[in-house]
A and B are shown apart, each in its own frame.
Chain A
């Protein structure tokens, strides 16, 4: 079993709709969580860090569920420009420099 898992999708979303997806992690000691966006095999770019209390940035909301060991990303009022692959990243608590990424969830926003 992979240590960080994501539904690969694609999630086909009509423009203006809401889409949400999760990322599960297996190391219960993990402390830091991130969502990155990646366009067409270009470099990943940080979308948002995920804090224990959850956080929101415009149309994007990230949540952390420690009990069930997953993080989630919700995109409201989807735009065509939101079409991308979304990668989750988890930092290992016992080795601060180590990061593990999920394989990504593809989102396709359609007109």
Chain B
């Protein structure tokens, strides 16, 4: 089944304790992206990757790191989490980042609900 998976789905942690949220897709997609969703603010892009070893900042990259060593995986790293990073996180992928004049359909993972105390 074609899908984007995220782990863990739920996480409660404490300030300063490094954590990694994994994202994996089995569709051989070039493009992957991380978003956070907060009430009233919608989805905000954290980082994106247009292919292996190619990553770039979205609108809210502060406090996050990513890596893209393999096409299928795009982990999100919080080196020193803080309470303002409490949020619902979504990973997404698409076949390629642009198609003719536009972007391509993004498939989203089920989300990771993170609470930082």
Contacts and interface: CB of A to CB of B under 8 A. Distances in A.
Interface of A: 4, 6, 8, 31-34, 41-46, 49, 87, 89, 91, 95-104
B19 interface: no
A43 B111 contact: yes
A101 B105 contact: no
Contacts of A8: 40
A98 B48 contact: yes
Interface residues of B, number: 30
A44 B37 CA distance: 11
20 contacts: A4-B42, A31-B102, A32-B101, A33-B102, A41-B37, A41-B111, A43-B108, A43-B110, A44-B90, A46-B105, A87-B43, A89-B43, A91-B102, A96-B98, A97-B56, A97-B97, A100-B59, A101-B44, A103-B41, A104-B42
DSSP class of B's interface residues: helix, strand, loop or mixed?
strand
Contacts of A91: 102-103
Given A42-B111, A97-B31, 5 more contacts: A43-B110, A43-B111, A44-B43, A95-B56, A98-B56
B45 interface: yes
A87 B42 contact: yes
A99 B42 contact: no
Nearest to B35: A101
B97 A96 contact: yes
A41 B103 contact: no
Most chain B beta carbons < 10 A, residue from A42, A43, A89, A100: A43
Contacts of A6: 42
Given A98-B48, A103-B42, A46 B97 contact: no
